[in-house]
Amino acid sequence: MEKFLITGLGNPGILYKKTRHNLGFLILDQISKKYFFSFSEKKLGFVSVLNLKKKKFFF
Protein backbone atom coordinates (compact mmCIF):
# COMPACT_ATOMS: atom_id res chain seq x y z
CA MET A 1 0.00 0.00 0.00
CA GLU A 2 1.37 3.38 -0.99
CA LYS A 3 1.36 6.09 1.68
CA PHE A 4 1.20 9.85 1.21
CA LEU A 5 1.57 12.74 3.64
CA ILE A 6 -0.28 15.92 2.72
CA THR A 7 0.14 19.00 4.90
CA GLY A 8 -1.89 22.18 4.92
CA LEU A 9 -0.06 24.98 6.66
CA GLY A 10 -1.71 28.09 8.00
CA ASN A 11 -1.76 30.66 10.76
CA PRO A 12 -3.98 30.40 13.83
CA GLY A 13 -6.43 33.07 14.84
CA ILE A 14 -9.33 35.03 13.43
CA LEU A 15 -7.02 37.61 11.84
CA TYR A 16 -5.90 35.12 9.17
CA LYS A 17 -9.18 33.29 8.61
CA LYS A 18 -10.03 33.04 4.88
CA THR A 19 -6.81 34.77 3.77
CA ARG A 20 -3.91 33.59 1.61
CA HIS A 21 -2.06 32.85 4.85
CA ASN A 22 -4.38 29.89 5.42
CA LEU A 23 -4.54 28.53 1.89
CA GLY A 24 -3.27 25.13 3.07
CA PHE A 25 -6.06 24.89 5.63
CA LEU A 26 -8.68 25.93 3.09
CA ILE A 27 -7.57 23.31 0.56
CA LEU A 28 -7.65 20.51 3.15
CA ASP A 29 -11.13 21.61 4.22
CA GLN A 30 -12.34 21.22 0.63
CA ILE A 31 -10.71 17.79 0.26
CA SER A 32 -12.29 16.62 3.52
CA LYS A 33 -15.74 17.71 2.33
CA LYS A 34 -15.33 15.94 -1.01
CA TYR A 35 -14.19 12.63 0.53
CA PHE A 36 -16.26 12.83 3.75
CA PHE A 37 -13.60 12.69 6.45
CA SER A 38 -12.91 14.85 9.46
CA PHE A 39 -9.88 15.90 11.45
CA SER A 40 -8.98 15.08 15.05
CA GLU A 41 -7.02 17.50 17.19
CA LYS A 42 -3.64 16.13 18.25
CA LYS A 43 -0.65 17.68 20.01
CA LEU A 44 0.20 20.56 17.67
CA GLY A 45 -2.42 20.32 14.96
CA PHE A 46 -5.20 18.35 13.36
CA VAL A 47 -4.80 14.97 11.65
CA SER A 48 -6.83 12.55 9.56
CA VAL A 49 -6.28 9.38 7.55
CA LEU A 50 -8.06 8.45 4.31
CA ASN A 51 -7.85 5.09 2.54
CA LEU A 52 -8.64 5.49 -1.14
CA LYS A 53 -7.96 3.12 -4.06
CA LYS A 54 -5.38 1.04 -2.18
CA LYS A 55 -3.56 4.19 -1.07
CA LYS A 56 -3.32 5.68 2.39
CA PHE A 57 -3.34 9.46 2.76
CA PHE A 58 -2.29 11.17 5.99
CA PHE A 59 -3.44 14.76 6.36
Marked catalytic residue, from 12, 21, 55, 56: 21
**How close are the terminal C-alpha atoms of the chain, in Å?**
16
- CB 6 within 8 Å of CB 58: yes
Instruction: Please confirm, yes or no, whether 21 is among the known catalytic residues.
Output: yes
Q: Is 23 helix (H, G, I), strand (E, B) or coil?
A: helix
Catalytic residues: 21
